[in-house]
Amino acid sequence: MKKIFSSLLALTLSLGGIAQTTTNIMSGVVFFDGYASVVSDPTPTGVIRFRNDLVTKQLTAQDLAAIGNELTINITISALCDNYDRIGNVSLALVPTGSTTYDPATVSRIEIGRFITPFMNKNVQPTSVPYSFEVNNIAKILKSADIASNFDFWLELEVFGVPYAANTQVSGCSGRNDVFEGKVDFVSNGPDAGFNPETYLQALSFKADFNNYQANATDAVGTTVKTINFTTTQTIYDAKFYLITSNHGANSGGEEYVRRVHNVEFDGAAVLTYTPGGKSCEPYRQYNTQGNGIYGSSVQSTSWWTSWNNWCPGDVIPIREISLGTLAAGSHSFKISVPAAQFSGQNGNFPLSLYLQGSNSEVLALEELNKTALHLFPNPANTVLNVQTDKEIQEFELLDASGKAVKRELTTPVNLSGIDTGIYFIQVRFADGMISRQRFIKQ
């Protein structure tokens, strides 16, 4: 029998006619000096401390029953005795059914949210910062009967911190080694007993080192290129990568905040190019109450922030979703490169997390809806793409690998000039209301 720890608080709200349930997964979790020996301080009921910066708790049958097909994870981090910006994350561990604990190094884990703590002084309000992750894809995992037949789900919260600066800079922190306090809530539209997706999940990388100076952190020392080769044993429908990276820890002159172009390839074709950052950090100034942060005393313009900064202390790190369509069984490769990256004095890292998720069932995959009604050629395509169908088309558009529309109101053949090489989708809505989304490659 599974052990159930009853520390949940469920609050049902009616918002716009949609019932939402908030379930507290863990609260009052204290994190300690990440460089020190593991402390023996007690933890809240059901919470296991693996390290000073890492705790876990099994999701109970009650927790899982409250989840529908939508899920938001809310995290609250409160200031104790660390007044610097640190990396934290929430992760899901798949643990063999019936286990009362586990070794994080030996089970399958996926990172489902990453955040950066602000420069906080525990004596200055506000003393806590909220983070929110909309992760409907995780709802599919947690409601998957085939995954649950072999594994229990454990939720991990990790917040690395050190108290050394705060010991002298923050009143009341002298001699203390507690750094942050954490809380995790699930918000969902459940319960939904009919929601039972046939979900495929494959963990590919969990916070792996990614830099240009460590052996095995990159394909070759001296270059910031990392390739992950993997094999799938079945056809995966509506396959997607979920990718998290963040530049951190290289100090002045390195990659601490600097924006760099990231290139992603799948099976040799470009699928995504992105540059972290691109927004103002002013909305997070309110949480950065310690004067040794990056904010200074005056408000800065959006152009100033976006000219150099790749993330904001007190903000979440983006989860990048890359759509792959139908993925055939066999060998595949994921490659990411940051050509301009620098690591001053061999410091810094871009922790890399990646997992593959999709459907085991063709029926559940959007791309496969009415597939026989649509034919694309040539594929791969160079300058034009022909769309052939016997059905009446109402509208269609061209999407990039992330699902963003790059062309609308197209005529056929589709003119592909000016479009970068990579994986794209044609999404067609027929007059009868059916939708077909099919993948093609632009050479």
Q: What are phi and psi of 11, to 5 degrees?
A: -130, 115
* Alpha-carbon torsion, ordered 64, 67, 68, 71, to 10 deg: -130
String of b and e for 15-34 (b: at least 16 CB within 10 Å)?
Answer: eeeeebbbbbbbeebbbbbb
User: How much is the average pLDDT of 135-151?
Assistant: 92
Q: Which long-range contacts (CB under 8 A, 24 or more apart) does 420-423 make?
A: 420/270, 420/273, 421/269, 421/270, 422/269, 422/270, 422/271, 422/272, 423/266, 423/269, 423/270, 423/271, 423/323, 423/324, 423/325
Question: Per residue in 349-359, pLDDT tens?
Answer: 999 999 999 98
- Picking from 280, 272, 353, the residue whose alpha carbon sits closest to that of residue 311 is 280
User: How much is the average pLDDT of 365-385?
Assistant: 67
Q: What band does 396 get if pLDDT is binned at 50, 70 and 90?
A: confident
- Its CATH architecture, for the domain 198-368, is Sandwich (2.60)
- Its CATH architecture, for the domain 1-197, is Sandwich (2.60)
β strands within 190-329, DSSP E: 199-208, 225-232, 236-244, 262-266, 269-274, 316-317, 320-327
pLDDT on residue 401: 65
Q: Please identify which residue in the block is written with the tokens 């949609």.
A: 18
Checking if the pLDDT of 372 tops 80, the result is: no
pLDDT on residue 442: 85
Checking if the pLDDT of 134 tops 90, the result is: yes
> What's 332's DSSP letter?
E
Question: Per residue in 55-107, pLDDT tens?
Answer: 999 999 999 989 988 999 999 999 999 999 999 999 999 999 999 999 999 99
**Distance (Å) of CA 108 to CA 95, 113, 218:** 7, 16, 22
Query: What distance in Å separates the CA atoms of residue 187 and residue 136, rounded to the nearest whole number?
Result: 11
Q: Where are the domains of the chain?
A: 1-197, 198-368, 369-442
pLDDT on residue 414: 85
**Distance (Å) of CA 436 to CA 268, 368, 380, 387:** 26, 7, 18, 12
Q: What are phi and psi of 239, to 5 degrees?
A: -70, 140
Answer yes or no: CATH 2.60.40.3080 is held by domain 369-442. yes
Share of the chain above pLDDT 70, in %: 88
Query: What distance in Å separates the CA atoms of residue 109 and residue 93, rounded to the nearest whole number?
Result: 4
* Six-digit token string for 184: 């995790």
Give the CA angle between residues 288, 293, 295 to the nearest 5°: 75
More confident residue, 392 or 202: 202
User: How much is the average pLDDT of 133-149?
Assistant: 93
Checking if the pLDDT of 384 tops 70, the result is: yes
Question: Per residue in 305-325, pLDDT tens?
Answer: 999 999 999 999 999 999 999
Query: What distance in Å separates the CA atoms of residue 407 and residue 398, rounded to the nearest whole number?
Result: 5
Query: What distance in Å separates the CA atoms of residue 75 and residue 89, rounded to the nearest whole number?
Result: 9
Count of CB atoms situated within 10 Å of the CB of 137: 19
pLDDT on residue 212: 93
Query: What distance in Å separates the CA atoms of residue 350 and residue 224, rounded to the nearest whole number?
Result: 10
In whole numbers, what is the pLDDT of the chain averaged over residues?
Answer: 88
Q: Do 198-368 and 369-442 fold alike per CATH? A: no
Checking if the pLDDT of 195 tops 60, the result is: no
CB contact at 8 A, 247 and 352:
no
Count of CB atoms situated within 10 Å of the CB of 307: 11
Query: What distance in Å separates the CA atoms of residue 116 and residue 86, rounded to the nearest whole number?
Result: 6
pLDDT on residue 192: 61
Query: What distance in Å separates the CA atoms of residue 183 and residue 294, rounded to the nearest whole number?
Result: 26
Q: Beta partners for 151?
A: 96
Name the strands in the sheet holding 225-232, side by side, starting at the edge strand that comes first in the sequence.
Answer: 225-232, 330-337, 262-266, 269-274
Share of the chain above pLDDT 90, in %: 65
